Amino acid sequence: MKIWVKYLIGLILGLVTGFIFSNNSASALQVVKPFVDVFINIGRYSFYPLVFFSLTIGVHELLLNKRFFQVHKNAIIVMVATVFFSTILGALITLVFSPERIPVILERKSIEAFPSFYSQLLEIFPKNLFSIFSDSGNFIIPTVFLALLLGINLGFDKTITKPVVTLFDSFNRIIYNLNSLIMEVMAPVMGFFSAYLFFSISSVSQIALYRQLFLILFVASVLVIFLIFPAVLYLIGFKEKPYKYLYGILGAGIAGFLSGDNYLANNVLIHHCHKNLGIPRPTGAVSISLFSMFGRPGTAMVSAICFIVMLKSYTSSGAGVSQILYMSFLIFITSFTFSAAPGGGVIMLLTIVCSMYGNGVEDGYLMFRPIIPILLGFAVLIDVIATGLCSLIVSYRSKDIINDVYIRDFI
């Protein structure tokens, strides 16, 4: 049975459970929440070591083949372009739909503090290199930087480094096999994620206030996933069955939407990229690592949509063209700094952008606090789909030999 089918069954069972206990959503939410936290940790469990070993070996192989700069250049260009156009698209769609105002929430509620740029910089280069391996699991940049440096230095003397290369390659394959087991285990877990999402929405007393926002998010997601991405694949050279590649990462998309966690979704995506899309290990490791650190097109798009809705709610005239352009620029730039927020990028991005924008909207992000899980779901859904398809584009642009996998052989 395909992975996405197993995940879909878990989703449906979670929704059924949600309907059964819908009369006690608030209480059920508190019961399910501890399980969800544990399962998210399990879903991330192998992500760090898999990125570490695969990127180290991947960088080493790219250097041996003299393709290191080509692949990284393509990955950066594709990532920046995707985030930019996603941000603009989110703003334009919201302006076209022109949703109704949402009542402003005046009371202040605490939002998890986001680490400063300086503190993140210190974590990337700690006093003790080994302290990187005691990270909390929310900030992957130090691990990626170390893997990058090790991969670069594995080629200084092939005689000396050959045992290390062999060891790292073996670890990579072992962790990859472990990851496949975790991916299978996550199938019934999707039921808990689905039920938690249902309870989170149904426990919001004034959920009707957000119906137009949900409609915009749904339309934007459908437009990006089922029209824009396949069209881009078709135009750059994948003229035969572009939807095949979208189907190949469907399981990761379901995991991203239900969990709202980028690291968990990308952990599932790694297997799909290799087994279904046929992306070689070196290019896949570079692309997925880069997007995990900086590339959040879905988060940027959802944040742009929410910010315009919030701005319209705070002002009678809404936002002007100059304000929209300024806001889009803020979101586009700031979205690259959220590597430390794999499970809360939207609300943290809105918090910072509202503060930077000023003009009395510093607390505007609070109106979205009740619906954070659904916002994260849409954001991570687009994030992980973009990561998978952009990895394919990077591989194609870098002239990789992409293995053409038959649909019947998809996991």
Q: How far is CA 37 from CA 33, 219, 259, 345, in A?
A: 6, 29, 10, 17
Sign of the torsion formed by the C-alpha atoms of 90, 94, 97 and 102? positive
pLDDT digits (tens, 9 = 90+) for 278-301: 999 999 999 999 999 898 999 999
> What per-residue confidence (pLDDT) applies to 110?
53
Q: What's the CATH architecture for 3-409? A: Orthogonal Bundle (1.10)
Q: What is the mean pLDDT of residues 88-111?
A: 77
pLDDT, position 113: 60
**pTM summary value:** 0.93
Alpha-carbon distance 382 to 221, whole Å? 7
Tens-place pLDDT, residues 222-244: 999 999 999 999 999 888 788 99
Domain limits of the chain? 3-409
User: Is it the case that residue 345 has pLDDT exceeding 70?
Assistant: yes
pLDDT for the residue numbered 109 = 54
CA 58 to chain centre: 21
Q: How far is CA 179 from CA 41, 46, 85, 250, in A?
A: 13, 6, 32, 17
- Of residues 199 and 240, the one with the higher pLDDT is 199
Q: How many other CB atoms sit within 10 Å of the CB of residue 359?
A: 11
Is 60 exceeded by the pLDDT of residue 56? yes
Beta carbons within 8 Å of 60's beta carbon, 6+ residues apart: 151, 152, 154, 155, 165
Query: How far is residue 410's CA from residue 146's CA, in Å, rounded to a whole number?
Result: 33
